[in-house]
Chains A and B, each alone.
Chain A
Amino acid sequence: MLYFSKLRIVSVIVFTVIFSYFAFSNFIKFDDKFFSKNINLGLDLQGGSYLLLEIDNRPVITQKLQAKIIELKRYFKEKQITLKNFSLKEDTISFETTNNEIENVKNILNDKESDVNTYYPTYKSHEFDVLEDGNLFSLNYSRYGLVLLKNSSLDQAIEIVRRRVDEVGTNEPNILKRGNDRILVELPGLDDPNRIKSLLGKTANLTFQFISQNNEESFGTEKLSFEDGSRDAIVSKRIILSGDNLVDAKPTMNSQTNETVVSFSLDRVGAKKFGKATSTGVGKQLAIVLDGKIISAPSIREPIIGGSGQISGDFTFQSATDLALLLRSGALPAPLNIIEERTVGPDLGQDSIDAGILSLFIGFLLVILFMIYKYRAFGLIANLALVSNLFLLIGILTLFEATLTLPGIAGIILTVGMAVDANVLIFERIKEETKNEKNPIIAFDAGYTKSRTTILDANITTLIAAFILFFMGSGPVKGFSVTLGVGILTTLFSVYFIARLLTSLYVVKNKDKEQLL
């Protein structure tokens, strides 16, 4: 165990130097990206906001089911099959058919080539589960149908969230999917997430609808209240134009009224629709509706055919900017709820870094002094291994751009405390061996060999804990598991290569001395 070939010595040194270099690269600045890497600081250390959003898919499901009913009606009408008594209750579509059509309807719904109930060969499942009871049919989203629906609404939502966050222009936001109905938003450096929260909390469904003069519109009417809550209005359900047709929106100053307004421009299709509606509706009031609330309802004085317009409505410059931003980024497919929020101010983050470094330094010093007191020259060797262990650990974390959190710093300090364990095991074993063996080289060799399985067993158990923490933990705790796990690997390296190399050099040089350890 004590023999080292020249090649081995060189490779241990090279390896140590290279990885240790990256520990220092945190403090050196080069132009080259690879050579001046920085460890990532977690939000708890650099300050920032962490938001976990959950999509409320219920409105989407209801919408899709309503559309499905219309589709079914149309499809079976074409096939000249009569379906009646359609109803939608608790996410279940049900309808009845005549007795002699039961088989027919069943075949259509369960056909793998079905046009109205798509079959997904990869999941071996239809979009809807079909249940029949006599002539009564009921359709439910199947498990996979629901998963696909959720995934597609999550994909849309994450895109919109990204656009909105990007528009606010925070520093390197991190936006990730979590499961099939959650979005994680990390905003480093942001200590007041209120604006982002209010932007993400709005679906931003914009529609233009006429205020109804009589209650007998062919599309039906609905009662909506104004944004400021001052009054209600009866609005036609016919949607003239929606936010989808917008190509741009920005806050501007209306030079005549000296008011802040949001001016928008429409795409070709939108401009055409808007032009047509405003030419036939001169004199009517056009309600501008956002998420079910009327922002304003100006009267149309003349047809608007240029494909651009203005929304007025008691805006401050800030609220006009935000509305323009929401309109530009598009509507969310479903409302988002913030189910978890963690914000750390930048000065607390800095305090945590300072406290972490101070306690690392003190812990390190105490362990080093204790080892020298206990083992003298070999304590020095163990300490050299400990120092290089620390450099290797920080170097590897830097190289792989791992995220360092406050518990992660605790993990490093704990590694320092526990790293000497392996060397202690070896040294104590060597002491025992020396009692029966006069030749120090043989005694040292036996000490290393006999303690090896114990050291491996002991470290593998801790590694298991670190692995499980990594896969089960979240955020800061994950950071802890990373430093703990990497710390074990670097500990084994520093003990078996660095400390062993130094020990062998020392022992071979001093083999004639009495009682080395």
Chain B
Amino acid sequence: MTDIQDKKLTEFDDNDQHPVGFGRMLRKEDARLLRGRGRFVDDVQLPGMLHLAILRSPFAHANIVSIDTSAAEASPGVKAVVTGETLKGLGLAWMPTLSNDVQAVLATDRVRFQGQEVAFVVAEDRYQARDALELIDVEYDVLEPVVDVRKALDPDAPVIRTDLEGKTDNHVFDWETGDEEETNRVFASADVIVKEDIVYPRVHPAPMETCGSVADFDPVEGRLRLWSTTQAPHAHRTLYAIVAGIPEHKIQVIAPDIGGGFGNKVPIYPGYVHSIVGSIVTGKPVKWMEDRSENLISTGFARDYIMRAEIAATAEGRILAIRTNVLADHGAFNGTAAPVKYPAGFFGVFTGSYDIQAAHCKMTAVYTNKAPGGVAYACSFRITEAVYLVERIVDALAYELRMDPAELRLKNFIQPEQFPYTTKTGWVYDSGNYEPTMRLAMEMAGYEELRKEQELKRARGELMGIGISFFTEAVGAGPRKNMDILGLGMADGCELRVHPTGKAVVRLSVKTQGQGHETTFAQIIAEELGIPPADIDVLHGDTDNTPFGLGTYGSRSTPVSGAAAALVARKVRDKAKLIASAMLEVSVADLDWVKGAFQVKGDPGRSVTIQEIAFRAHGAGDLPDGVEGGLEAQICYNPSNLTYPHGAYICVVDIDPGTAEVKVRRFIAVDDCGTRINPMIIEGQVHGGLTDGVGMALMEMISFDEDGNCLGASLMDYLIPTALEVPDWETGYTVTPSPHHPIGAKGIGESATVGSPPAIVNAVVDALKPFGIRHADMPLTPSRVWDAMRGQATPPI
């Protein structure tokens, strides 16, 4: 809980401006959401619509001996009961995951995690569907589960994936990056080596809206309409075409309003496929909406990395090298969402923001009898784990060297003149200027004064901690030469149409889940064309009405789709210029663009506005030779590199020595995401991510008992921060534009989730310094902190 300060707030940001371009601007999407007129998947009502409920396995590991559905079929209102055997007959029992593994749509032979889908019922209402689940009789032969990830590769460990031909162990993949030999050489000559075992426990994105879908298959047209909670409607459509065999042009995926995603809505879940099968089988629209327990126990989790981190440095605090060994728990099916060539996502950025000589990482991923995933939670493809690793081990180094952690970081930053900077693991950081960001955070925090206060408090036996983290993210996947998901290149399309009266519609391949695309993308077009945002409609989330692209996750909307929007507007502007030259009877070379109009060089009185040009483009009279009528353009943008936002975070905590409760007293976040499109929205993204960070650092964890029962199956067990656990956020910013992005913007959606957990943990560990503690694992609940204070800290898994 935070200290509740009874301060009155009477000053407000001046938000109600109407920028024609970048700046604070109120959101266009709020009008409907504030009135209860949003349209979420569960709000979709179609004539004759049926409801679907899923029977899930109570066991983590068991063979299915038999399933008797006769009583369920006879239950009132029931229209269909479908099992794995039924799907097997249709060739639909298995589907590909985003990592080229396969996952059971319904279990046929065996269940491999608690909560796995075993059968589904379609009935007239949701209550009847649930009733019938109770009547399905499944006989299980319970098997020993693999719960402890450290034992998954033991020779006597039960093999989980017996469905994979020739599989004799629970190994998923080995992955390596960096130069092992060189790293070992540097370590051998270092003055100081610090080693720490660091666990990033399994957590869950838990968006407030759970996952669900409404499928409506028209057997006459052979056409499927699917409303679904998806962050990537186009990628999903392609996968449904491949899985279900329905031709792609006959599938329309609609992502309506989405109640938060955080990566949870990137994968295709069996339930979506069930609703499609249910609609095909019954000939009616079918709705599936999971409940909170189902969301927590079966859909994509995040993290679950056990990391051994080592850092080598000189006695003066010059960091020389970092190496790590990681054991990754991927659950029962490898459902990680990451570009194909990056099985560990972008974990390779574990070298952080520091100019070092060598780095090496070795990772082993294994199957366990737990829910599949490894997807997300605003993780930027595993950058969250990488940043936690480096920022934790750098703090451990500061502890050993008795150096101030801020000073240690400042001493080792990559310098501005070194950009573009190629890391020892091969990532090319596009731009950065780290020291001013760090200095601003320290100034906002009053860092020196805080250290003095801490000294006084320590003398009195009070526990106060100050934690720092400094991160560099890699977002905006990605260049199609090496980034694809199941063979689909990670580019994004954009289409812009200016109507005769100068109003416009822009169509995106990405999809908001609350990030405010309808506002920011209108602002990008406004900045480039001078059309007010109010006159620009942003369409997204419907595959029939938008160009192809890979969707919104990994903070990629602004880096990829935002670039596409700027470039498509420039394409329209280029055409507008040709028309303007005809209208003003001057050559193109004699025209200047002033936002919203072309004017004759040296004669500002002679000009035409973009609206006048739009009318002329559609109007009577000849256009210049070679210029078609209309004013519209389309592009597909393939980024040349990722963008690399950075930030400096400082957290202040107080720990009650009597209860070991951690209070986050202050949190200062300075972010640099390059050009800022809408500062209000950026701030909102940061606030949300910081709250995630408090959750992960102090409260959230999906854990299992020895039988593989999920112990975080409701919001009473899986604790998410409320307004009482978080402070009033203090934010600041610096601006280092991306050199390769057309408007210089970088992603911001996940920075705070990535950067905040290490700041909070570093603060707690700093507070516990008097106990001689150098590391403690998340979640830092009162009982875990209590144990740490008594020298009895244990890893959470």
User: Is the pairing of A and B real?
Assistant: no
Contact surface of B with A, Cβ cutoff 8 Å: none
Contact surface of A with B, Cβ cutoff 8 Å: none
